[in-house]
Each structure stands twice: as structure tokens, then as C-alpha cells.
Amino acid sequence: MEADFNRRARQGDDEAAEALVRQHQEAVFRLAYLITGDAHEAEDVAQEAFIAALKALDRFDTERPLRPWLLRITANTARNRRRAVGRYVNALRRLVWVNPEQSSTAEAETSQKWESQALWDAVRRLNDADQEVIYLRYFMDLSINETAEVLKVEPGTVKSRLSRALGRLRGVVAKDFPVLYEGREA
């Protein structure tokens, strides 16, 4: 089914191209958001990534799953964009960002959201490679094999990178986000 859409899209079928974008836009936007930290920036990145992907579709093996390839283009586009402009502006924006839903949600849900947000803040203290493997595996919920496909490495390499990244994340959390770390030392 997906292979058929991909084939039609690369032959210039606009409907197939749009269906393909709709199918993957949530994953692409979310990864772009995690990397850039800004919804508007993420929307631009997602658009740019899809335009690039649709143009490069004739070089893609349509029998392979599209999502890892799309996510790779997205990660590269987002990373380059973040380096080029707005890195520090976005960091500042995030610092003053207040979750508008906090006052109206149930306490447990609010607490969970706060912890997820704090986890993201902690992940963003890591280097780019650590961030990426954590985003793909845990935030985007990709399998080890899919993560390996996006990063163009072996599954074993993903496991070892994850292990190291989680270790470094634990260090950041222990030092700067002790509330997230509660209960660990018991």
C-alpha cells in the first residue's frame, strides 16, 4: 500500500504525494519540534523536509519503509536549521514558556505532563547524538531496528548509544532535576 503511494508520488501524482505527507506529518512534525523546541520552526522544518523528500523520492527504494528515511531528512533539516538560526532565541523562549493547560487539568495528569516536560528539558542538555537516539527510541517510540534505520547504523550500535545516552541523562537528572530522580537512591 505505502509502496504503491510512494511509486505514484514519484511519478508526479499530487494526490498520492499529499496522502503520503498526511500519513507521516505527525511523526515528522513531532521530531522537528523535539529538535527545534519551537512549534512554528517545527512546522517550517516539516514542510521543508517533505518538499526535499518528495523531490528526492526517485532516489528512494520504494519497497523500503518510508518513515525512517523521512525522519532522517527531518532530523538533518532541523539540526541544520537550529544551528543556523534561532538556537539561543528558542532556548530563551522555552525557559519562559508556561504550560497553559496546567491550571485546568487533573493533578495527576498535570504532574505527568510536568515530568515529561522536565525530562525533555533534561534531554536537551545532552549532545546532539544522545538527544537524537533518545528522541527516536523513546519519544517517537521507534523500535531498535527503525531507530537504526534512521541513524544508518547497526541495531547493536543503537543499543550501545542508548545505554550511554541514558547514563548521561541520568547524570543530568540527578544533578539538575532532582525531583525527577526521587526514589532512585532508596
Interaction between residue 141 and another protein (CB under 8 A): yes
DSSP-assigned letters across all residues of 45-73: HHHHHHHHHHHHGGGS-TTS-HHHHHHHH
- Residue 123's Cβ-count burial label (10 Å; 0-12, 13-18, 19+) is buried
Interaction between residue 64 and another protein (CB under 8 A): no
The torsion of the CA quartet 21, 149, 143, 28, rounded to 10 degrees, works out to -30
Candidate segments 46-54, 124-132, 142-150, binder of another protein by CB under 8 A: 46-54
Interaction between residue 99 and another protein (CB under 8 A): yes
Residue with cell 548521561: 168
Interaction between residue 4 and another protein (CB under 8 A): no
Q: How far is the CB of 4 from another protein (least distance, A)?
A: 18
Q: Which has the closest alpha carbon to 60: 14, 137, 2?
A: 2
Interaction between residue 142 and another protein (CB under 8 A): no
Interaction between residue 29 and another protein (CB under 8 A): yes
CB neighbours of residue 139 within 10 Å: 17
Interaction between residue 113 and another protein (CB under 8 A): yes
Candidate segments 22-30, 125-133, 142-150, binder of another protein by CB under 8 A: 22-30
* Residue among 25 and 157 whose Cβ is closer to another protein: 25
CB neighbours of residue 86 within 10 Å: 16
Q: Which three cell numbers stand for residue 138?
A: 523513546
Candidate segments 80-88, 124-132, 142-150, binder of another protein by CB under 8 A: 80-88
Residue 37 DSSP code? -
Count the site residues for another protein by CB under 8 A: 58
Q: Give exposure, 22-46, as e/b (b: 16+ Cβ within 10 Å).
A: eebbebbbbbbbbbbbbeebbebbb
Interaction between residue 14 and another protein (CB under 8 A): yes
Residue ranges that bind another protein, judged by CB under 8 A: 14, 17-18, 21-22, 25-26, 28-30, 33, 39, 42-43, 46-48, 50-56, 59, 72-73, 76-77, 80-81, 83-86, 99, 101, 112-113, 115-117, 119-120, 134, 138-139, 141, 162-163, 166, 169-170, 180, 182-184, 186
